[in-house]
Amino acid sequence: MSTSKLPAAVLNTKQHFEILDGLRGIAAFAVVVFHFMEWIYTDPSKNFIGHGFLAVDFFFCLSGFVIGYAYDDRIAKMGIWNFFVARIIRLHPLVIAGSILGLLAFLFDPFGGHLELYSTGKIILTFICSLFLIPLPVIADRGFNLFSFNAPAWSLFWEYIANIFYAVLLYRIGRSLLVLLTILAGAAICLVAYNSGNLLGGWSGPTFWDGCARISYSFLMGLLIYRFNLIIKNKLGFAGLSLLLLLAFIMPFSEWNWLTEPLVVLFYFPLLISLGAGAVLKPGLEKICQFSGNISYPLYMTHYAVLWMFGNYYINYKPDTTQLTLIVVTSVILLVGFAYLVMIVYDIPLRNYLNAKRKKNIGKNS
């Protein structure tokens, strides 16, 4: 391999699918609203966005598609190590930020908490595990989440696992084997839904392996969409596809979840990815989609510290419907603003700095 070809092959950035970026932001927004609502409505059937948690499966499917698109034709040239470094730079700064925010919320929650139940050593160990994405479901006040100081990090743990499997195995395999693996993972999704009654698991110790099934199918399916070029040209646009995506999150929560949720994950979300990749973005919406896509990950990884405080406030003070509406709406707006601030002040500058060093090192070693 010539020195002149390596930097271009490794460092060039591909164009984004703008509508898919926008849909990722819609899904992140739905997750935030769902997390507020699940505190208010412990009975999911009364929650208007009771299936907001399925946004994670949409993220997984989109990730498989994007990883295949971005790396299938260059990971062999860039090497597994450079791939891992690139993914860590992209994902881990916000893992760290979310962990720090979660620790601060745990220590200084003005509305409750039981710090006296936990030793300093246990808190420090939990924080270190959160920083390095090592599951440790030991904090009762955090619902025995895999990552007590940043609950949504459970999906990032599985995202990392999927990235490792992609770099070591998946990018090398042919389409026939990919189809077989996807079918097997789909069967696992159905089994999880049937046994649990839904696909809500993956975030806690007892449901750990549910997360494996969820990432396995959706990531593989996203990769399959890219490999088979299952892109459907259409004129639905960003607005139409956003509405279709939201329908999955607000569909009724019922005794048939064991059937409806797998159908959404197995077929509906892949269809939306195919449609989103083939849709035409109307003029004037580029900035909206760009902002939506950019804010999605920072919002997802920084919002949950506030959710624990909100939950303790709600349990202790029982605000009425009017107060709740004001609190939730205001909180969501402020969380979006805070996520934007974290992105601009911390995430982007840090990633730019680390990527510049990575490119410099690649140039030296080529």
Radius of gyration of the chain (CA): 21
Instruction: Quote the pLDDT of residue 289.
Output: 97
Per-residue burial over 171-182, b if 16 or more Cβ lie within 10 Å, else e, is beeeeeebeebb
Lowest-pLDDT choice from 63-77, 102-116, 205-219, 284-298: 102-116
Q: Residue 361's pLDDT is what?
A: 80
CA count, 13 A, side-chain hemisphere, 50:
17
CA distances from 44 to 150, 270, 282 (A): 22, 25, 36
Q: Residue 16: its pLDDT value, please?
A: 74
Q: Report the candidate in 271, 278, 270 with the shortest Cα–Cα distance to residue 232.
A: 278
pLDDT band for position 112 (cuts 50, 70, 90) = confident
Q: What is the pLDDT of residues 340-357, one digit of tens each?
A: 999 999 999 999 999 999
- Give percent of the chain above pLDDT 90: 89
User: Residue 54: pLDDT above 50?
Assistant: yes
**What is the residue-averaged pLDDT of the chain?**
93
> In the predicted model, what is the mean pLDDT of residues 188-204?
97
Cα–Cα distance measured from residue 29 to residue 292, given in angstroms and rounded to the nearest whole number: 9
- Write out pLDDT tens, residues 289-319: 999 999 999 999 999 999 999 999 999 999 9
Q: Do the beta carbons of residue 49 and residue 33 sit within 8 Å?
A: yes
Q: 51 is written with which tokens? A: 């299936």
Taking 50 as the threshold, does the pLDDT of residue 106 lie above it?
A: yes
Tokens standing for 337?
């603003």
> With bands split at pLDDT 50, 70 and 90, how would you rate the model's confidence at 237?
very high
pLDDT band at 359; cut points 50, 70, 90: confident
Query: What's the CA gap between 147 and 135, in Å, rounded?
Result: 6
Task: Specify the pLDDT at position 116.
Answer: 86
Return d(Cα 277, Cα 222) in angstroms, integer: 11
Give the CA distances from residue 324 to residues 42, 57, 311, 332, in Å, rounded to whole numbers and listed in that order: 15, 28, 11, 12
pLDDT value at residue 15: 60
The model's pLDDT over 18-53, given as tens digits with 9 standing for 90+, comes to 999 999 999 999 999 999 999 999 888 899 999 999
